[in-house]
Structure 1
Amino acid sequence: MPSSRPVTATLARYSGIAIALHWLMALAIIGALGVGIYMTELPFSPTRLKLYNWHKWAGVTILLLAALRLLWRLSHRPPADLPMPVWQSRLAHLTHGLMYLLFFALPLAGWAYSSAAGFPIVWFGVLPLPDWVPVDKALAENFKLVHKLLAYGLAALVLMHIGAALKHHWIDRDDLLSRILPLSKKGKTR
């Protein structure tokens, strides 16, 4: 049951680096998911090939941002949880844990799919990345399916995450969202 009064300015915020990594990843993930869905419906064309490259570049970038974000999170404590029912707190921690897992698993599955299909990844057209699985059509199809299922899983978790943040903002009015908004002045940085 939500508290009768909103949490006030004593609320601790995430650090500027944590906020920047959160929003960079959010934009990259939403963009990569959107491009991924759109490009698979296109007929074979130069546009489709270009979008596949952009999608791969976004995936590698997300993988690197996820590593930075995890290192930051392990070395910097996040603000304490807000008062909420135990089930909500547990669900929030489970959702965050699964999202972190998918931040790594999804791009790695895509990279494996690309390697197994025989299509190298050249990050931003400059840095060739090594293939880490052998070229194998059957293996490529398996990684393609895994990548697709993980993408849908991450999309569902992202929607849950956004829904929960909006619930806290509009229904609970507990200022949870202000802890991660870049321009919010509420609370102190942690």
Structure 2
Amino acid sequence: MTTTTIASADKQPSEYGALAVTIHWVIFFAVIALFASMNYAQGLDKADPLRSTMYNWHKAIGTCVLGLAVLRVLWIRIHGAPELVPSPRITEVIARISHGLLYLLLIALPATGVGMTLFSGRGIDLLGIPPLFEANKAVAGALHAAHGPLFLATVIVVFIHIVGALWHQYGRHDATLGRMVPWLRGK
């Protein structure tokens, strides 16, 4: 009887499976929702109850993104990821660095948001997560200060990721984008 462990699962899949593709796109659309909800909420008057509702949705979606990003990283560690489509060495280096940064940022950004909320003495109401810590303004402030720059870094890395995927599809005409867009497979 063979047991599959991280050490024995060194076979790399030839393409991403349905779960990996689904998690990728759910995170993508959730990040768009996070950006939109925050921009909308910040444009509202502080006394408007919709502002608080939008912030609550932002916190809940961000918490879900954190969980999904951790799940995606664990999934890749256990099941592996397809090898990169053969490309010039510099392209492969950029792809590996940008993917690593993207995973790091998709964990760090929502982690700072969740931490900021919890260290402000509040919970994530829409998910039923109660306040877990006493309010600590110093920690909450440090996490708040990190959240904005991490968001900007995430936008930059996502932009690089999208440009790279489009370059592979329309410049190199290879199978890279088809790995995450199933209807492009085989084209």
TM normalised by structure 2 equals: 0.84
Which residue is 1:53 aligned to?
56
Q: Of 104, 110, 115, which aligns to 1:107?
A: 110
Aligned pair 1:89/2:96, yes or no? no
Q: State the aligned residue count.
A: 174
What is the CA-CA distance between 1:176 and the residue it aligns to? 1.1
Aligned pair 1:29/2:31, yes or no? yes
Q: Of 59, 64, 85, which aligns to 2:67?
A: 64
User: Unaligned 5+ residue runs, structure 1?
Assistant: 1-11
What is the CA-CA distance between 1:47 and the residue it aligns to? 1.0
What is the CA-CA distance between 1:130 and the residue it aligns to? 4.5
Aligned pair 1:117/2:120, yes or no? yes
What is the CA-CA distance between 1:40 and the residue it aligns to? 2.4
What is the CA-CA distance between 1:150 and the residue it aligns to? 0.8
Which residue is 1:150 aligned to?
150
What is the distance in 2 between the residues matched to 1:135 and 1:112? 11
Aligned pair 1:160/2:173, yes or no? no
What is the distance in 2 between the residues matched to 1:64 and 1:52? 19
**Structure 2 letter corresponding to 1:165:** A
What is the distance in 2 between the residues matched to 1:102 and 1:90? 18
The structure whose residues are more often strand, as a share, is 1
What is the distance in 1 between the residues matched to 2:185 and 2:170? 18
Alpha carbons 1:123, 1:129 under 8 Å: kept? no
What is the CA-CA distance between 1:131 and the residue it aligns to? 2.7
What is the CA-CA distance between 1:56 and the residue it aligns to? 0.5
Q: Of 67, 81, 84, which aligns to 1:78?
A: 81
Deviations 1:151-170 (Å, cap 9, x if unpaired)? Answer: 11111111111111011111
What is the CA-CA distance between 1:34 and the residue it aligns to? 2.4
Bigger RCO (CA 8 Å, 6+ sep): 1
What is the CA-CA distance between 1:31 and the residue it aligns to? 1.4
What is the CA-CA distance between 1:185 and the residue it aligns to? 4.1
User: Unaligned 5+ residue runs, structure 2?
Assistant: 1-13
What is the CA-CA distance between 1:145 and the residue it aligns to? 1.6
Alpha carbons 2:177, 2:184 under 8 Å: kept? no
**Structure 2 letter corresponding to 1:29:** V
**Structure 2 letter corresponding to 1:182:** P
Aligned pair 1:140/2:140, yes or no? yes
Which residue is 1:6 aligned to?
none
Alpha carbons 2:122, 2:130 under 8 Å: kept? no
What is the distance in 1 between the residues matched to 2:102 and 2:149? 14
What is the distance in 1 between the residues matched to 2:78 and 2:139? 37
Q: How has the CA–CA distance of structure 1 residues 143 and 63 changed in structure 2, closer, same or farther, with 3 Å as cutoff?
A: same
Alpha carbons 2:119, 2:139 under 8 Å: kept? yes
